Structure 1
C-alpha cells in the first residue's frame, strides 16, 4: 500500500491550482516501490494494464472520494508502458495516461523559442497531432510564463480543467501536454490560473482553425501542408511586372439575394475568381480573413492570427479558393494586421494575468483610435509570434504577399497622440525602434524563407526607405502604397474643372518623389467609407461629367508610374459608399447598357492593355520609364507624358481634365511616325462622346523642344493612350 501523497497537493490538484502535475501524477519510483497515481473524477474502478501484454498488473485504490487513485505495482522495479482501464458509470474504458509521457519540446525548438528567433514557431506551439510511443493524440503547448497553472480543456475531457493540467517548462515560460486520444475536429481552450489566482479561459493564440463568433473555441486540425510557389507566381510579383490589384472584402462583394447571406469560399472561387480574371486584374487582395470577433472591424481587429475566418467555410475551403485563383493565373495578397488586437477576454489581452502580448502602459499599449491593444514588439516571443505568422500564410496557404496595415501607427510612438500621451524611445525620439526592428526582421526573413513573395506597406508618412532594404536603412518592404498620390489626385478630381487650373500641380507633384519608393497607386476601401462618398460621387458635375471624370481619372491612374489597386465596386462605378453588411450594387449592371457598363468595360480594357504593353509597367521605378511632354499647360488642364520600356518603345498618354474638347492640340514627341489610339476613355463603348483620333502621324513641326510633333483632338474629360505603329 502506498502512502497517501501530500493532502495539500491533492487538494490543490482538485482545485485546479497545482502547477506541477507530473510530480504527482503518472508512474513514479517511490520508497514503497513503483507507484501509479491518477486523477479520474467520477471513476469507480481503475486498473493498471501493461501495454505489451494487455494484463492487469495492479488495481488503483481510490484514496480520495473526489477521484484520486493510487497503487504500488507489485513485483515491479522498472518503469514500463501502461494504460488505465477505467470504469465510469458501469462502462469500462481503456485510456492512455497523459502523465506517463516525457517532455515534448525538443532542445533546439526550446532554444529558438526562448531566443525569439524560431522561423516557424507554429510548428511547435499550439495543437499538433502526434504519435508518441505508438499512441495517437495531440500535443498542446502555450506560452504563459506568469501563470500559476494551465490546463487544456476541450471535447476530450468534458471541459474540466482538473483533468489535464500541463507541464511547465520554466526555462522558456511554455506549458505543454500530450493528450492521448484528442483528435482533429475536437474543440479546445486553455484554462489559465493567472498570476493573481484569477481563472481565465483563453483561445489558443496559435489555433489553426477556430469557431466563428460568438463562439470562441479553437479546433484541433493540424498544420495545412506546405504550398510551393511556382515560377509563374513569382514572376507576377516582380518590380517590372504589370500588377493590377482588385481589393475585396469577401463578406460584401456579393451576397445571396434571398437571405443576404455571404457567399462561401467555394462560391467565391466559382464567381469572384473568374470575374477578376475576366476583368484583367493580376492580383486579388483580401481584406483580413483572420478570425475576428466583430464584423464591423472588417477583419482589422483579428484574434485568430493563424485561423482563416469560418464565416465563409473551413480552412480547407479557403485553401480551395486560393488554389482556384492560382489556377486562373491570379496571385493572392492578404491584408495582414500585426499592429494591434482587440481586448476581448478570450484573446491575447492579459493572457496570463499580465500584459504579456501588449504593453502595460496605455501610452504605449493602447490605440485610442480603434480601442485596441498594441503588441509589445520589444518582447522577443511576441515578435516571433507575428513574424512566424507572416511566413505561415505564405508557406502554408500559398499567399503571394502581405499588405501590412497601418505601418505608421506601428513605427511612431506618438501616432495620433497629443503631447504627454506617449512615451519617447530611449533616445528621446518618437520612433518605435522595436516595431522598426520587427518589420525589418520580418521582411528580411520572408525574403529568405519565401522568395518571390512580397510585402506591401500602408504607410501614410514620409518615413524614409519604407521599400528599401534593411541593409541600407530601409524597412525592407517590396512596395509602398502611395497615399500622397491618392490624396492629391482625388483632391484635384473633386474640383469643378473651372478651378483645376489653379491646382494643376496636384496631378504632377507625384513625380517629384516617385523614385523614392516602389509605389502602388491605391484607390482602396478607406476611400469609400465614413462619409467620403464613392469615387464616382466625388467627381463634380452632372451625371455625364461624373462618369467622364471618373473614366479620365482611371485612364490617368493606369498609365501613371506605379502598380495599381482598386477596391471592389470601383470597376463599375459603384454609386454609394461601401457598406460591409450588404452586397455591392450589382443591380446597376442589370438591364440596358448604361454608364456603369461603360466604366466596367473601360477598367477591363485598361487592365488588359496595361498588361500587354511593357512601357506601361516595366520601368515603373526607373526614371528612364517616364517623361513629361506637356506638364505646364494649366490653362487648358492638359497633361501629356510618355511611358517607356527597356527597349525604348513608348506609349503616349494625354489627359484633358476640362469638359471642353481641345481641337488641333499640338505637342512635341520623341519618335516620328504613325501613332494609334489603344485607349480613349471618351469612346462610344464606354458611353463617351466618341471623339476619336484612330491613327495620327507626326508632323515635322517643332514643338516643346522636339523636332516633330503630333496634333490631336483631346476629347472632353478624357485620357488617351497612343502606341507607335511599326513602320
Structure 2
C-alpha cells in the first residue's frame, strides 16, 4: 500500500513477465514519469511489449501525431520496446504506432496506461499515479475477515446511481451522497460495477480496454482513490467487479495487439466468445498471467480495494462456459495462483466468483484441493427464490421446495446471496414488480422476500434502487427513480429495509454461522398447504426464530414448534403500519407451551397475518 516506485527495466523483469511470474509489470511497462531526488519530473519513459512488431513509434499530441519523430528502441530481443523523452509529459495524449511485419500499421492505446481520454476518444494519457495521501490506515488496521461478520453489499453502477442534470457525477462529487445513503441503509460494502476503462456505456464496463486505468467518465484516478479512501474512513468496504477471462475486440485495445493473438488463444474455437463478441484470454501464456496478475495487484496496491468479484467464472472452469467443451485447466490453475497471491497480500480480502455451475470446491482453499475463492454467488438460491415469489400464492404450495431446496446445499460453499443487476434488466422487471397481486400486495410480498433473503444463511448483495423498491427496471442511461421516496408506500418500504438491515447487523445469529450448518434449523418445513415456513438461526450468544406466512390467509394462533422453553419476543414484524401493513402483530413476548410440535419439544401460538414475516428473539 506504499509509494509508487518506478522500476528500471532489467533482464529479470522481462524474463519474469514472459514466464507469468511478474506481478508488478505495471512498474516498468507503460508510461512513467521519472523524478529527481526532489520529486521533480525530469523525463518520461514509454515501454511496450510487442514481440511481433517490425517497428514501434509513439504518436502523441506533443509530436503532432507524427510517429517518425519518436521511434522506440528494441531493448530486449523478446520484443520489449522503449523510449525516454527528456520532458515532463504528464497529461499528454498518446498511442503506440505498431508497424507490423506484413506492412500494416495499427494504432494501440497503452495496455498499461493509467489514464485515458474520455470516450468516444480512446488514446492513453500520461498520468502521475503517485502522490495520493491515503488516510484509511485505521480501516486496514481494524478490518476483519468477513466469515463471521455481517456483509450486506450494495451493488452500484456509478453512471446511473445519481446524475447531475442528466450528466455523470464525478467520483469526488458523488462520494458524500453515496456514503450517506449506504450508511443510512445499513450496507457494509459497496460493489462497484467495472470502473476500469471501457469504450461503450452500453457494456456497463464488462468489455474493458484499460485494465490499469480508472475510467475517465467520472474524473481522474486520484478522484477514484479519494472516493475509496472516504468510504474506508466511514467504515465501508469496496469490492471491484472484474472481468478476468475475456477482452474487448476494439481495434485500439489489447486484442490482436501486435498483429497476432498475443494474449488470446491462438485456437479460433477457444478464442471466439460468440455470446459477448469478445476474445478469450489464454492463461497458458506467461504474458497473459503476468498482465492480469499485475492488474489485480495494481488495484490492490494503488486503489486499496477490499475485494474482487470475478465475472463469468463458468467460462474459466469450462471452455466457453460449456461443460461439454471440457475443463479449462490453465484458467483454473491461474485462479489458484490469484487466490494464493491476493490472500498473501491481505488475509481479509474478498474474492468472490460469479458462477452458475456446480463445479466443486470453488470456495475451498487451494491447500485443501479447492479453487481458492472465499465466496461464490449462489445463483441457485436467486433463481429458485425469485421464481417462487413471482407465483400467485394459490400456486405456491405446489412449489414449496423452491424455498427449502437451497438449504440442502447452503453449506457446501461459502455463499453470497445475490439479487444483482442481472435480475432487474432485459424485461425481467425490478424485484418489487416481479411480485404478484395488487400494488399494495406487491409490497407485502416484497417485505416477505427481503426478510427471507436477509435471514437466510449466506452473505448478501443487493442491486441499487431495490432498497426503496424501484418500480421500473434498471436503465443505465438515467439515474435511479429517487422521487419514489416521496411516496408513502416507498418510504415505508425503505424504512422496513433499514430496520431489517439493522436487525441483521446487530444480531449475530443472522451472520456468525453463515457457513456452519449448526447455525440453522428448520422448525416448519413441510406446511405446504398453508405456505408457512419457520426456522431458527443460532450464534454462540443468541437464538432467533423467523416465521413467514406467504399467503394472504390470517391465523389468529398459528402453532410453531420451537427448540427451547422460555419467551420469544417479536423484534420485527413486516405487517406493522409503519411499513404500510395492517398493524396486526404480537405486541407482548410469547411464552412457550410444553406440548411438542413439528418435531420440537415446545411450541408458540403466533398471531400471523397474511403475507407477513416475523423475527422473534428467544429469551430463557
Query: What is the TM-score when the length of structure 1 is the normalising length?
Result: 0.81
Partner residue of 1:624? Answer: 518
Cα-to-partner distance string for 1:304-360 (whole Å, 9 max, x where unaligned):
111111111111111111112112111111111112121111111211001112223
Query: Structure 2 residue aligned with 1:141, among 42, 47, 56?
Result: 47
Query: Displacement, 1:395?
Result: 1.6
Query: Structure 1 residue aligned with 2:375, among 479, 499, 506?
Result: 479
SS of corresponding position for 2:411: helix
Partner residue of 1:638? Answer: 532
Partner residue of 1:262? Answer: 168
Partner residue of 1:130? Answer: 34
Distance 1:416 1:702, change over 3 A: closer
Tell me if 1:185 matches 2:91: yes
Cα-to-partner distance string for 1:500-558 (whole Å, 9 max, x where unaligned):
01110100111101111100000000000111111111111111211100100100100
Tell me if 1:109 matches 2:17: no
Partner residue of 1:720? Answer: 614
Cα-to-partner distance string for 1:45-103 (whole Å, 9 max, x where unaligned):
xxxxxxxxxxxxxxxxxxxxxxxxxxxxxxxxxxxxxxxxxxxxxxxxxxxxxxxxxx9
Query: Displacement, 1:270?
Result: 1.7
Query: Displacement, 1:242?
Result: 0.1
Cα-to-partner distance string for 1:389-438 (whole Å, 9 max, x where unaligned):
11211221111111111111222114269x8xxxx5xxxxx111111111
Tell me if 1:702 matches 2:614: no
Tell me if 1:679 matches 2:559: no
Name the CA distance, whole Å, in 2 between partners of 1:247 and 1:637: 31
Name the CA distance, whole Å, in 2 between partners of 1:598 and 1:402: 34
Tell me if 1:565 matches 2:461: yes
Name the CA distance, whole Å, in 2 between partners of 1:199 and 1:237: 50
Partner residue of 1:663? Answer: 556
Partner residue of 2:3? Answer: none
Distance 1:233 1:303, change over 3 A: farther
Query: Displacement, 1:698?
Result: 1.4
Partner residue of 2:333? Answer: 437
8 Å contact from structure 1 (residues 193, 200) kept in 2 = yes
SS of corresponding position for 1:688: coil
8 Å contact from structure 2 (residues 538, 544) kept in 1 = yes
Which residues in structure 2 correspond to 1:341-420 (within 5 Å)? 341-415=247-321
The runs of 5 or more residues in structure 2 that have no matched partner are 1-6
Aligned residue pair count: 609
Cα-to-partner distance string for 1:551-571 (whole Å, 9 max, x where unaligned):
001001000000011101111
Query: Structure 2 residue aligned with 1:454, among 327, 340, 350?
Result: 350
Give the number of the structure whose residues are more often helix, by fraction: 2
Which residues in structure 2 correspond to 1:170-319 (within 5 Å)? 170-224=76-130, 230=138, 235=143, 237-256=145-164, 259-319=165-225
Name the CA distance, whole Å, in 1 between partners of 2:42 and 2:388: 65
8 Å contact from structure 2 (residues 379, 417) kept in 1 = yes
Cα-to-partner distance string for 1:655-682 (whole Å, 9 max, x where unaligned):
1111112221112212222221122111
8 Å contact from structure 1 (residues 224, 397) kept in 2 = no
Query: Structure 2 residue aligned with 1:335, among 241, 263, 266?
Result: 241
Cα-to-partner distance string for 1:417-473 (whole Å, 9 max, x where unaligned):
9x8xxxx5xxxxx11111111111111111112332211110011011111112222
SS of corresponding position for 2:111: coil
Name the CA distance, whole Å, in 1 between partners of 2:110 and 2:140: 36
Instruction: Name the structure, 1 or 2, with higher relative contact order (CA <8 Å, separation 6+).
Output: 2
8 Å contact from structure 2 (residues 129, 221) kept in 1 = no
8 Å contact from structure 2 (residues 238, 305) kept in 1 = yes
Distance 1:222 1:521, change over 3 A: same
Distance 1:232 1:718, change over 3 A: farther
Name the CA distance, whole Å, in 1 between partners of 2:103 and 2:220: 36
Name the CA distance, whole Å, in 2 between partners of 1:634 and 1:170: 71
Distance 1:311 1:131, change over 3 A: closer
SS of corresponding position for 2:213: strand
8 Å contact from structure 2 (residues 317, 359) kept in 1 = no
Query: Displacement, 1:104?
Result: 4.7
Name the CA distance, whole Å, in 1 between partners of 2:483 and 2:143: 36
Which entry has the higher C-alpha Rg, 1 or 2? 1
The runs of 5 or more residues in structure 1 that have no matched partner are 1-102, 425-429
Query: Structure 2 residue aligned with 1:588, among 484, 488, 503?
Result: 484
Query: Displacement, 1:476?
Result: 0.8
Cα-to-partner distance string for 1:577-616 (whole Å, 9 max, x where unaligned):
10000111111112xx522112211111111110101110
Partner residue of 2:502? Answer: 608
Name the CA distance, whole Å, in 2 between partners of 1:293 and 1:170: 32
